[in-house]
Structure 1
């Protein structure tokens, strides 16, 4: 598979994953029964598997690793935080306020991950970067 095709799969899966997360967050805030639909519970896992697989394949293809590339380490750390916040927002948050706060925080972390990916700089919010 070519780099361009793999990157397109990766970027497309990022967009779909984010849109699904955002939609599920809106449904969570509205208390919608749509969150209980079978496809809503399964599709994000499929998309995220494609996303993670393509990310690993891209890293291997361009010979990047998190030990030697701080921007990749920052993306991985951001991803873990994003996943944790997403789990709190959509599943484990004790109160509606905690769920909404986690969902908003996850949006900020997602922005950080995208900016790090675009700039290859883990200090994207730094004034002196």
Structure 2
């Protein structure tokens, strides 16, 4: 069960991140697709199922945020990641600022992925 949940979680995390990258690209290219409600819903569904698989993994391994530093760090960074994606898509930003926020968002995602792979806190460990 653990292996299936883990593979599902990683796949959903990658698909969610790819969805973010595609939508950000549409925003940079001024495509009308960035306003596509279906694309937003797909991204939200992927993210919701990723969070559900994360909860399932926590229960399976018996480790939880606030009691395990690496999971606390992942959860905190995920919240920052979610906020930064909202900033990119919901606020009018200068192109340079949008690029900077997107790069920071990608860095946050990579940090979350690294922490999950190592099962060890990276920033505050």
TM-score by shorter chain over 0.5? yes
Q: Which residue of 1 aligns with 2:53?
A: 54
How far apart in 1 are the matches of 2:92 and 2:102? 10
Whether 1:34 aligns to 2:54 is: no
- 1:33: how far off? 0.9
How far apart in 1 are the matches of 2:88 and 2:94? 10
Are the structure 2 counterparts of residues 109 and 93 from structure 1 closer, same or farther at C-alpha, using a change threshold of 3 Å? farther
Using structure 1 for the length normalisation, give the TM-score: 0.88
Q: Tell me the SS of whatever aligns to 2:58.
A: helix
Q: Which residue of 1 aligns with 2:80?
A: 81
CA contact (8 A) 1:13 1:48 kept: yes
Q: Which residue of 2 aligns with 1:13?
A: 12
How far apart in 2 are the matches of 1:23 and 1:117? 23
How far apart in 2 are the matches of 1:92 and 1:75? 25
Q: Tell me the SS of whatever aligns to 1:64.
A: coil
Larger RCO, structure (CA 8 Å, separation 6 or more)? 2
- 1:93: how far off? 4.3
Taking only aligned residues, the RMSD between alpha carbons, in angstroms, comes to 1.7
Are the structure 2 counterparts of residues 106 and 43 from structure 1 closer, same or farther at C-alpha, using a change threshold of 3 Å? same
Indicate the larger mover: 103-112 or 91-100. 91-100
Q: Which residue of 2 aligns with 1:107?
A: 106
CA contact (8 A) 2:24 2:34 kept: no
Q: Which runs of 5+ in 2 are unaligned?
A: none
**What is the aligned residue count?**
125
- 1:62: how far off? 0.7
Whether 1:91 aligns to 2:90 is: yes
